[in-house]
């Protein structure tokens, strides 16, 4: 199934619980807005485009049995704040809320919200295929691509952005291998990217984040492709560790690409004005149930970082590939 969808009979949002991968493949159902907000906060559903769809379907839940437009607006503010960094969550919520507000009664508001949410989910798949088409032209037969976090079908509704580029290149007959960085502390790379690629029989090698310099110096990486949580006026905000890989890629003359839909663009905003989500110290003090650091240690755990355009060779979008200086205009 898609990463996120709606069960019409049960009136529930269905999603693949990504916290359980790769051990278990489980679909969870969120029948209330609170359940969906909890799933977003716990990263059961994650990745910028998937959060956009989650936000959209969340508005449908907010409209359920609710006739006051003001109450719906208040409820969805909580949804937008569930994860503040990826702009797609607000994008999905705002678009669906606007559609719902055209409804004259409770029934119509919910209907309009549902239509818009479905549109957002379907658009995401189509947009990723276009990103794949444009991006695959940047890859050559035999390339090894390093990626960070998970910007695959599990971060989107389907297909993926960074991994979508790789999928399309393979579909076009190119032989591509992937190096997946584990992406500490929540390990989206080792848990989700490797699982997703192995499902499609795409060759993948897992490395620790701290190995990216050495694999690049050893000539084992041809290109780097990552996704984005928000493209801002000076660069790209993405999973913590992205900036480190970009600096290393630059110093080894390896092209560093970002694959992102226009729904992730927020070009009027500076990176300084974006809230970078800080996550619980427990993510570093524990590894699963195991304590791996003193309980009293001071922890700094931002979930995302900022990479300036100077380090980025191009941004691959559904409308084409943007090269500098286009990005800075
Ligand atoms: O904390 P996460 O797992 O939601 O972070 C996800 C990322 O940083 C992805 O790289 C980004 O959302 C792009 S997904 C196409």
* Other Cβ atoms closer than 10 A to 167: 24
pLDDT tens, position by position, 190-208: 999 999 999 999 999 999 9
**pLDDT in the model for residue 327:** 61
| % the chain with pLDDT above 70 | 99
Give yes or no for residue 245 CB within 6 A of ligand 1: no
Tell me the whole-structure pTM to 2 decimals.
0.97
- The domains of the chain, with CATH numbers, are 4-128 (1.20.120.420), 136-328 (3.40.50.10470)
pLDDT over 90 (residue 326): no
Which position among 229, 266, 282, 305 bears the catalytic label?
229
- Please tell me the distance between residue 152's alpha carbon and the centre of ligand 1 in angstroms: 9
Instruction: Report, as an integer, the average pLDDT of 295-320.
Output: 98
Ligand 1 pocket: which of 19, 41, 47 to mutate (most atoms within 8 A of CB):
47
Tell me if residue 5 is catalytic: no
Which of 137-142's residues contact partners 24+ apart within 8 Å by CB, and which partners?
137/321, 138/165, 138/223, 138/255, 138/257, 138/314, 138/316, 138/321, 139/165, 139/166, 139/169, 139/174, 139/176, 139/223, 140/174, 140/222, 141/173, 141/174, 141/175, 142/174, 142/175, 142/176, 142/222
Query: Do 37 and 79 meet the contact criterion of CB atoms below 8 Å apart?
Result: yes
The finding on whether 152 has its CB within 6 A of some atom of ligand 1 is: no
156 CA → ligand 1 middle, Å: 9
pLDDT band per the 50, 70, 90 thresholds, residue 220: very high
Q: How far apart are the CA of 11 and the centre of ligand 1, in A?
A: 27
Phi, psi of 297 (to 5 degrees): -65, 145
């Amino acid at each position: 199934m898609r990463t996120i969808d709606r069960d019409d009979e049960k009136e529930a949002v269905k999603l693949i619980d990504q916290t359980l991968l790769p051990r278990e493949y489980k679909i969870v159902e969120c029948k209330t807005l609170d359940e969906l907000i909890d799933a977003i906060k716990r990263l059961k559903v994650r990745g910028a485009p998937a959060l956009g769809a989650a936000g959209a379907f969340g508005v449908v839940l907010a409209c359920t049995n609710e006739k006051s437009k003001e109450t719906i607006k208040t409820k969805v503010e909580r949804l937008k704040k569930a994860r503040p960094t990826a702009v797609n969550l607000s994008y999905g919520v705002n678009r669906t809320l606007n559609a719902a507000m055209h409804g004259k009664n409770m029934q119509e508001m919910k209907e309009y919200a549902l239509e818009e949410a479905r549109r957002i989910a379907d658009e995401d798949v189509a947009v990723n295929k276009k990103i794949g088409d444009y991006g695959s032209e940047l890859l050559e037969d035999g390339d090894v691509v390093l990626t960070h976090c998970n910007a695959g079908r599990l971060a989107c509704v389907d297909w993926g952005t960074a991994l979508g580029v790789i999928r399309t290149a393979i579909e076009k007959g190119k032989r591509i291998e992937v190096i997946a960085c584990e992406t500490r502390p929540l390990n989206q790379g080792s848990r989700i990217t490797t699982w997703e690629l192995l499902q499609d029989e795409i060759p993948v090698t897992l490395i620790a984040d701290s190995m990216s310099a050495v694999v690049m110096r050893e000539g084992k990486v041809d290109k780097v492709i990552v996704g984005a949580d928000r493209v801002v006026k000076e660069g790209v905000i993405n999973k913590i560790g992205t900036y480190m890989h970009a600096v290393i890629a630059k110093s080894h003359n390896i092209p560093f690409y970002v694959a992102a839909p226009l729904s992730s663009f927020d070009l009027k905003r500076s990176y300084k004005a974006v809230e970078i989500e800080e996550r619980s110290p427990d993510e570093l003090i524990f590894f699963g149930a195991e304590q791996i650091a003193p309980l009293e240690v001071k922890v700094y755990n931002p979930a995302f970082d900022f990479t300036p355009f100077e380090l980025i060779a191009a941004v691959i979008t559904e409308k084409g590939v943007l090269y500098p200086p286009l990005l800075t205009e």
